[in-house]
């Protein structure tokens, strides 16, 4: 399906991505390598609320929108990490979508979920049923009117649904912006000549030049593919934000800010200690984030969750609620089954013997078995301690008894 573009930048941006289908990740025969937990709806909602979402009716499939799917990297993960879901992946570039269709065919993603891949603007999705989860990574900042894009996505979200966004941040793109402006002044264009001359520029600048050093030390791997280099330095339409303008942008629609999906980046303890950390901790949350933004000029993007309506929170402090909960292993782990893993953020994690045994027992028992009913032969205190450790490691995902929220 092709619709008339609704954003002024659509024709030029579409033509750009037809020339440089993005992202330039290679196609794979078989499931995509690794994972991104933000594209696993169970893991994302457990992060946002502390618990797994309620189970819907047996015939009701999870509805997911990948708004601005490009060459289908995110769509591939969404299809594999949410089997049985209904996935609509849209983009304005026919060239990028041709790659996306081939990617999901070769990976088997189109067999894992009911996938529709369509050439449509995220502004032109009126008439679609609402979605449980919307993913839009690196898209809204390429619209001439990003607020219209956010409003369109907000209207497509179910009550209690979650939207994951990724937008450029001003601070960490200082060198990128200067390089973009320099290439624009040199009138290299946004095609293959621009690509050739852009790469030549970084090769030609003195080794000590800040822009060349930044490209070489930080972005060389990310921009190895021509499409990725072009997307970073030659894009014809781009907006970026600071923290203040980001929240003004978010507050322009009727959605709630749930939190950053990379919260460790926004923790002052990453940068401070002692008395200065104590002072930072005393600040309101928004000012703590502002402090981190000021102290870390390398933050190049914002990634965060929004929800339609406040989300009920579960903290599992009550022993009886934890024992009655139904659990599952976080599917976004590398190295399972085993005790030496990479966790959901790809960081090394060593499971305890008790944690490993508990996860094995959960997988053997099935999804409706309460933790307290697992045939482990442990004391209640031993079971509770092991479960809370796994919860803290985001290895164990829990659903309150009956499938609803409300455990505290």
3-class DSSP string for 279-318: HHHCCCHHHHHHHHHHHCCCCCEEEEEEECCCCCCCCCCC
What was the pLDDT predicted at 2? 45
Would the pLDDT of 352 be above 70? Answer: yes
Determine the Cα–Cα distance for residues 384 and 390; give it in Å rounded to an integer. 10
**pLDDT at position 405 over 60:** no
279 — pLDDT class (breaks 50, 70, 90): very high
Give the span between the Cα atoms of 203 and 215, in whole angstroms: 10
- Residue 141 has a pLDDT of 98
Contacts of 299 (CB under 8 A, 6+ apart): 169, 171, 172, 265, 292, 293
Alpha helices in 73-219 (DSSP H): 73-81, 94-107, 109-112, 146-155, 174-185, 192-204, 210-214
Per-residue model confidence (pLDDT) at position 56: 67
Range 353-361 contact pairs with CB under 8 angstroms and sequence separation of 24 or more: 354/378, 354/382, 354/385, 354/386, 354/389, 355/386, 355/389, 355/390, 355/393, 355/395, 357/386, 358/383, 358/386, 358/387, 358/390, 358/396, 359/329, 359/390, 359/395, 359/396
Give me the half-sphere count of Cα atoms (radius 13 Å) on the Cβ side of residue 382: 11
Q: Looking at residue 408, what is its pLDDT?
A: 53
Q: pTM here?
A: 0.94
For residue 308, what are the CA distances in angstroms to 79, 132, 164? 23, 10, 12
Query: Which backbone phi and psi does 238 adopt, to 5 degrees?
Result: -150, 140
Cα–Cα–Cα angle for 223, 147, 187, rounded to 5 degrees? 40
Q: List residues bridging with 257 in a β-sheet.
A: 306
Rounded CA separation 135/38 (Å): 9
Tell me which of 404 and 273 has the higher pLDDT: 273
Q: Bridge-partner residues for 307, per DSSP?
A: 162, 256
Of 341, 297, 329, the C-alpha closest to 395 is 329
- What is the structure's pLDDT at 54? 78
| Rounded mean pLDDT, 201-207 | 97
Q: What count of residues does the chain have?
A: 408
Res 73 pLDDT > 50: yes
Q: How far apart are CA 114 and CA 161, in angstroms?
A: 19
Residue 289 has pLDDT above 90, yes or no: yes
Calculate mean pLDDT across residues 371-400: 96
Average pLDDT value for residue range 309-315:
94
- Evaluate if residue 284 carries a pLDDT over 70: yes
- Check whether 385 has a pLDDT greater than 90: yes
Nearest to 286 by CA among 244, 315, 258: 244
pLDDT band, very low/low/confident/very high, at 4 (cuts 50, 70, 90): very low
């Amino acid at each position: 399906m092709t619709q008339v573009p609704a954003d002024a930048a659509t024709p030029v941006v579409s033509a750009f991505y037809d020339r440089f289908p993005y992202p330039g990740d290679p196609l794979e025969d078989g499931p995509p390598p690794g994972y991104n937990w933000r594209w696993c709806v169970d893991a994302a909602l457990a992060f946002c609320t502390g618990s797994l979402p309620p189970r819907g009716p047996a015939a009701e499939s999870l509805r997911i929108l990948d708004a601005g799917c490009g060459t289908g990297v995110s769509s591939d993960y969404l299809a594999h990490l949410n089997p049985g879901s209904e996935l609509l992946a849209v983009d304005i570039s026919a060239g990028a979508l041709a790659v996306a269709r081939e990617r999901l065919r070769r990976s088997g993603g189109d067999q894992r979920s009911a996938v529709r891949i369509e050439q449509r603007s995220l502004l032109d999705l009126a008439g679609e049923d609402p979605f449980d989860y919307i993913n839009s990574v690196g898209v809204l900042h390429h619209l001439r009117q990003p607020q219209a894009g956010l409003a369109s996505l907000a209207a497509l979200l179910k009550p209690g649904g979650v939207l994951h966004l990724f937008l450029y941040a001003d601070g960490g793109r200082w060198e990128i912006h200067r390089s973009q402006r320099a290439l624009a002044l040199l009138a290299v264009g946004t095609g293959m000549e621009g690509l050739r001359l852009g790469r030549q520029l970084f090769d030609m600048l003195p080794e000590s030049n800040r822009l060349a050093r930044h490209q070489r030390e930080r972005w060389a791997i990310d921009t190895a593919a021509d499409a990725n280099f072009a997307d970073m330095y030659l894009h014809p339409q781009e907006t970026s934000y600071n923290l203040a303008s980001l929240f003004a942008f978010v507050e322009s629609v009727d959605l709630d800010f749930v939190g950053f999906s990379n919260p460790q980046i926004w923790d002052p303890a990453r940068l401070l200690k002692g008395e200065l950390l104590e002072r930072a901790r005393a600040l309101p949350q928004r000012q703590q984030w502002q402090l981190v933004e000021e102290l870390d000029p390398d933050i190049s993007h914002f990634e965060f969750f929004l929800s339609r309506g406040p989300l009920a929170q579960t903290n599992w402090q009550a022993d009886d609620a934890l024992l009655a909960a139904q659990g599952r292993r976080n599917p976004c782990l590398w190295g399972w089954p085993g005790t030496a893993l990479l966790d959901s953020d790809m960081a090394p994690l060593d499971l305890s013997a008790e944690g490993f045994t508990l996860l094995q027992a959960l997988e053997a028992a099935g999804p409706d078995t309460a933790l307290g009913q697992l045939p482990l032969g442990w004391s209640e205190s031993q079971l509770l301690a092991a479960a809370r450790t796994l919860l803290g490691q985001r290895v164990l995902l829990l659903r309150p008894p009956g499938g609803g929220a409300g455990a505290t």
